[in-house]
């Protein structure tokens, strides 16, 4: 009996050793956020603009002028906000504040978890969770049904329909929620579920007709906005030799008007942070503004007489004129993004240092080639309007800001500009150490799983599509441009895989 017990202990010990040697995502790193502050070099005026813009970013929107419970611009703790302190929320929405989708690990980040019932005392508060699961859909008495793809501890998701009912391409955002049932706006008594129904997401899911996007972080976007096109092209050209070896191409998504490189959004579909800000206000919160003056939902029963349309415009009221409050909220959002600094990495452990070399830092130290898409550093324009803050600075973004074919496993079947259904912009990796979810649709919170999802070979892998027509559509896409790099990654010893994961979680 003693010998059997000893042998069992040896087997268990060996199994534990093997498990310990298997690479695993270390998860969200602890410590300070390393993000959410301003770029260095701001003057007093710029800092005042940023601080005002941060308050606007964190405001909770009401649906009509005069419905807000606090004066606009009244600061509140955004993690525990309960009173509306702005106005203009549209009849259809995904969110009722910028902050609810950009809170991880600080204001301006990616999607995180919030307390769903902050008005209750601490003894009754639930564990922080996905704000799109309960907090947003039921705020102020709203009676929304929560779609099945929104889960309590899952990612915040935006839903797009791939095709219209007649088979033509759609690709647009279909808002998850409406203001039906809210008790804080007495001007819309006729706004009922029969007048303003939610989209039938469950039917569209069964038709394989829904694609998801999750919120990206806004840290450092002003720095990225200041990178010149010639810098993007030069960094791309410098990797030509290794990209040819690895089968990596990379193309820009250019503005159809001026031909310059667009660089924001999952498919680099937004040209500038200003365009992104105006679109986000209208698409995500239904707030009409200078850039997007038409409401996404114009039913007068749900846009009462107390809501000006357009709503969030440059202000000329006597009390606002020639003050920071003269600027509309959507514009202050782009000010906030412009002056947000990029995420700062944590100190590298010995394993993370090893991972950095394996990841690759340039042509002289290519590692396994990850850097060929995830360009470690670019530099901003030599001279810019905010010279001390944004001019001639290194931007450690880990992205080439270009589009790549990623294969059928990651394809969303939506075309935006030259970005085809399987193409995505290289996601900047700075700040990835404190992101909760990965891939454009948030399908995983495991960094190792996200890396492996970059591989797709149509000759050896199923598309996982249950519909024959969708399967045929997916199989028409080429292999993933990341295949060679992922093959190299998979061939590494487990300790080297772990080193790369440790490096990434340090960013």
Cβ atoms of residues 100 and 324 within 8 Å: no
Cβ-proximal residues to 17 (8 Å cutoff; 6+ apart), any chain: none
**Coil, helix or strand for 114?**
strand
**pLDDT bracket for residue 20 (50, 70, 90):** low
Distance CA 495, CA 236 (A): 30
pLDDT confidence of residue 318: 67
Average of per-residue pLDDT across 9-19: 43
Residue 392, sorted as left (phi over 0), alpha (psi -120 to 50) or beta, turns out to be left
**pLDDT bracket for residue 315 (50, 70, 90):** confident
Cβ atoms of residues 336 and 56 within 8 Å: yes
Cβ atoms of residues 367 and 488 within 8 Å: no
pLDDT confidence of residue 6: 45
Average of per-residue pLDDT across 223-234: 98
Distance CA 44, CA 327 (A): 17
pLDDT confidence of residue 317: 75
467 burial via Cβ count (<10 Å: 0-12, 13-18, 19+): middle
**Over 60: is that where the pLDDT of 216 sits?**
yes
**Over 90: is that where the pLDDT of 319 sits?**
no
Query: Which tokens hold the place of 83?
Result: 């009173």
Least confident among 132-136, 152-156, 299-303, 468-472 = 468-472
Average of per-residue pLDDT across 165-171: 96
**pLDDT bracket for residue 389 (50, 70, 90):** very high
Cβ atoms of residues 378 and 228 within 8 Å: no
**pLDDT bracket for residue 223 (50, 70, 90):** very high
SS (H, E, C) 251-266: ECEECCCCCCEECECC
Does domain 228-262+345-506 correspond to CATH entry 1.10.3470? no
Cβ-proximal residues to 172 (8 Å cutoff; 6+ apart), any chain: 160, 161
Contacts of 378-383 spanning 24+ positions with Cβ under 8 A = 378/227, 378/231, 378/232, 378/235, 379/227, 379/231, 380/223, 380/226, 380/227, 380/228, 381/226, 381/227, 381/228
Q: How far is CA 47 from CA 73, 412, 491, in A?
A: 16, 40, 49
pLDDT confidence of residue 323: 63
Is the pTM value of this prediction over 0.85? yes
pLDDT confidence of residue 466: 84
**pLDDT bracket for residue 110 (50, 70, 90):** very high
pLDDT confidence of residue 15: 43
Least confident among 18-27, 96-105, 264-273, 420-429 = 18-27
**pLDDT bracket for residue 316 (50, 70, 90):** confident
Quick one: what percent of the chain has pLDDT higher than 90? Answer: 87
Residue 121 or residue 370, greater confidence: 370
468 burial via Cβ count (<10 Å: 0-12, 13-18, 19+): exposed
Whole-angstrom distance between the N-terminal and C-terminal Cα of the chain? Answer: 51
Instruction: Report which DSSP code applies to 330.
Output: H
Cβ atoms of residues 377 and 401 within 8 Å: no
**pLDDT bracket for residue 224 (50, 70, 90):** very high
Distance CA 376, CA 501 (A): 16
Cβ-proximal residues to 53 (8 Å cutoff; 6+ apart), any chain: 332, 333, 335, 336, 339
Cβ atoms of residues 358 and 371 within 8 Å: no
Average of per-residue pLDDT across 163-184: 97
Distance CA 228, CA 154 (A): 37
Whole-number mean pLDDT of the chain?
93
pLDDT, one tens digit per residue, over 345-376 is 999 999 999 999 999 998 889 999 999 999 99
pLDDT, one tens digit per residue, over 195-208 is 999 999 999 999 99
**Over 50: is that where the pLDDT of 11 sits?**
no
Cβ atoms of residues 89 and 286 within 8 Å: yes
Least confident among 32-46, 462-476, 493-507 = 462-476
Domain boundaries, the chain: 29-217+270-343, 228-262+345-506
pLDDT confidence of residue 3: 45
Cβ atoms of residues 396 and 343 within 8 Å: no
Cβ atoms of residues 403 and 253 within 8 Å: yes
pLDDT confidence of residue 496: 98
Cβ atoms of residues 307 and 88 within 8 Å: yes
Q: Which of 145, 150, 153 is nearest to 126 (CA)?
A: 153
**Over 70: is that where the pLDDT of 19 sits?**
no
pLDDT confidence of residue 460: 85
pLDDT, one tens digit per residue, over 409-455 is 999 999 999 999 999 999 999 999 999 999 999 999 999 999 999 99
**pLDDT bracket for residue 185 (50, 70, 90):** very high
């Amino acid at each position: 009996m003693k010998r059997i017990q000893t042998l069992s202990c040896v087997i268990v010990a060996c199994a534990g050793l093997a498990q310990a040697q298997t690479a695993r995502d270390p998860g969200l790193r602890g410590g300070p956020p390393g993000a959410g502050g301003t770029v260095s070099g701001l003057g007093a005026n710029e800092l005042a603009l940023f601080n005002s813009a941060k308050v606007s970013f964190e405001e909770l929107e009401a649906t009509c002028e005069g419905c807000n419970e606090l004066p606009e611009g009244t600061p509140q703790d955004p993690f525990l906000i309960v009173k509306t302190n702005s106005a203009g929320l549209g009849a259809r929405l995904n969110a009722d504040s910028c902050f609810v989708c950009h809170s991880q690990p600080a204001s301006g980040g990616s999607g995180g978890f919030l307390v769903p019932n902050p008005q209750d005392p601490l003894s009754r508060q639930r564990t922080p969770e996905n704000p799109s699961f309960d907090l947003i859909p039921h705020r102020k008495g709203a009676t929304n049904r929560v779609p099945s793809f929104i889960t309590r501890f899952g990612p915040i998701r935006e839903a797009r329909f791939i095709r219209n009912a007649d088979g033509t391409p759609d690709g647009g955002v279909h808002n998850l929620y409406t203001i039906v049932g809210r008790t804080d706006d007495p001007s819309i008594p006729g706004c009922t579920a029969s007048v303003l129904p939610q989209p039938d997401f469950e039917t569209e899911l069964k038709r394989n007709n829904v694609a998801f996007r999750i919120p990206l972080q806004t840290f450092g976007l002003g720095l990225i906005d200041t990178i010149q096109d010639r810098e993007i092209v030069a960094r791309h050209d410098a990797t030509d030799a290794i990209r040819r070896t690895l089968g990596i191409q990379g193309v820009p998504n250019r503005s159809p008007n001026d031909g310059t490189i667009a660089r924001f959004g999952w498919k680099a579909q937004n040209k500038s942070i200003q365009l992104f800000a105006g679109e986000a206000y209208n698409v995500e919160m239904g707030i009409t503004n200078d850039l997007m003056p038409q409401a996404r939902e114009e039913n007068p029963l749900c846009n009462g007489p107390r809501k000006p349309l357009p709503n969030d415009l440059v202000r000329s009221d006597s009390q606002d004129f020639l003050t920071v409050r003269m600027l509309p909220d959507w514009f202050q959002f782009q000010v906030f993004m412009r002056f947000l600094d990029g995420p700062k990495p944590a100190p590298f452990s010995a394993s993370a240092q090893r991972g950095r070399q394996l990841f690759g830092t340039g042509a002289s130290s290519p590692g396994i080639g990850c850097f060929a898409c995830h360009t470690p550093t670019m530099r901003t324009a030599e001279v810019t309007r905010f010279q001390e803050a944004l001019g001639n600075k290194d931007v450690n973004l880990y992205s080439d800001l270009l589009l790549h074919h990623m294969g059928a496993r990651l394809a969303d079947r939506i075309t935006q500009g030259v970005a085809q259904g399987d193409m995505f912009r290289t996601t900047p990796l700075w700040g990835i150490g404190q992101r909760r979810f990965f891939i454009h649709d948030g399908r995983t919170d495991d960094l190792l799983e996200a890396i492996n999802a970059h591989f797709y070979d149509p000759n050896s892998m199923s598309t996982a599509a249950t519909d024959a027509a969708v399967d045929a559509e997916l199989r028409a896409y080429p292999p993933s441009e990341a295949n060679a790099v992922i093959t190299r990654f998979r061939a590494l010893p487990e300790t080297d895989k772990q080193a790369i994961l440790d490096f990434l979680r340090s960013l």
